[in-house]
Structure 1
Amino acid sequence: MTDNPTSIVDAEQWPDPVCHYGIEDGTPVVETVNEAFETTFGPVDAGEPVASLFETVGLSIVQGPDEPAVVGTAADQFTVETGTQPSESGAASHDRYLLRVVPTDGNAGGVLLFTPVPTGIARAADEIGLDHVASVISHDLRNPLDVAKARLRAARETGEVEHFEHVADAHDRMERIVGDVLTLARGADVVQPDGRVDISAAAERAWATVETDDADIVVEKSLPTVVADPDRLGRLFENLFRNSIEHGGTDVTVTVGPLADAPGFYVADDGRGIPPGRRERVFAPGFSTDDHGTGLGLSIVARIADHHGWSVAATDSASGGARFEITGLDTG
């Protein structure tokens, strides 16, 4: 395999749509397309300007430079969309693709690579914005990534091999987070509340995965077991714990306990709390009072709860901090 970007892509072997283009008199033009391209978008003629390719095959740019003419003149990345006629329900269907432009050395031509964007991811991007879809991954990955870096540094300095076990655990955690984000974006069918989970144990496991600094946790032993997806319940706790530490302070005390008047539990802290006017808004995707926050941690909590058939509400704790109550649990 050579380092030439166009030689890396065998158009006929590549499973997704591919368009090879060249440069004629300074204009990017179509050279060849593969079978997947013709099956997906329809046939195009060799020599057609890349700038008119979008109109020919019915593609529109969702994210990226507004002018299709820039495609093929420099390395770039776009999100493009096809549109079809309205279905019987009256709603038009759309398919989205990540379009990567890979020019050759010297910009003498290149390749247009179209990668399908899963429907669930596209739906999540519409709801909370493409930037936030990326932000939530980076937000949740930051902690295990920092742990892995610190443990690798310690291993190099001390030569103690036990640090590598923590690195492996951090990598496993990152893999699970990426999977969780993707599966949550695809909808409720990926949450599988088919087992009984001890809430106390789930909370303690989740606390161990979060960078807690000087924070403390109190987990009341009277918490029940619940029918839930253990991985998603763990993510719910992690996001609530991280929210308490980020907004309540690194020395905050977090308490997890049962609700007295309903099947459910609460997560409370002794931080500065949430003003009443913001308690409904904190679950909205993108809402954050922190300049460095993504505003997605609590929206994921709400999604996990909703996919289980639960409800979540924000209120104040006995000490004036934040308290989140999760109700509607199946404890039978």
Structure 2
Amino acid sequence: MTDENRMAITFDDFPEPIIAYAVEGGEPRITVLNGAFESVFDCLSSGMPVAAIFEQFSVVNPTDGEDPIAHLRRGDSVGIYLDGIGEGGPFFARTISSGPDTSYVGFTDLSACLDVAEVPAVDQVSSVISHDLRNPLDVAKAHLRAAQETGDDEHFDAVANAHDRMEQIIRDVLTITRDRTAVDPSDDVSIETAAKAAWESVDTEQATLEVTDTLPTVTADADRAS
């Protein structure tokens, strides 16, 4: 995959509050934060414990009920509902692990996209997003292990593709939550192309996909069908 085909978002240009963190001595600590985070949480800075973020909220509800710091220590991908920070929020925080050294926490302001009556549906939303991110994340981890063991460059291409897929999922979530009319189901989409793209986004181990017949096209949104 060439650089021209990648739509990279720089950390500071990410439109929502986001931090990078690393676990030091068993304590998740902020290593990098973007401008959007600073504008919302102006009393926090690099080097502080991530727990200091959650301490600002009176409501901290991980989707599985477990201590959020325990999730961060392990690098789990999990959603956390946050509320009770004065006039801001509520927020939905989600953690994304990118490797053994650095992970991320992004914060979505739910007041911009959800009515208060809809907040109980956050569990369902986070479950879908976590599932969609889990597949390419597992693929990236598997190929990274293979690359470390074999040194084959082809595994790094697979890791890059998996990261591109995760970035596209994040873009889609942001687009749909901010503009419910953003989905355009008017493209001609090849079922074969969509199936192959979906196949590459999951860890299939030794299994292969073979298309023996010509498949038709359907009308759908091309970005969200692949």
- Which structure has greater strand proportion? 1
Larger Rg over CA atoms: 1
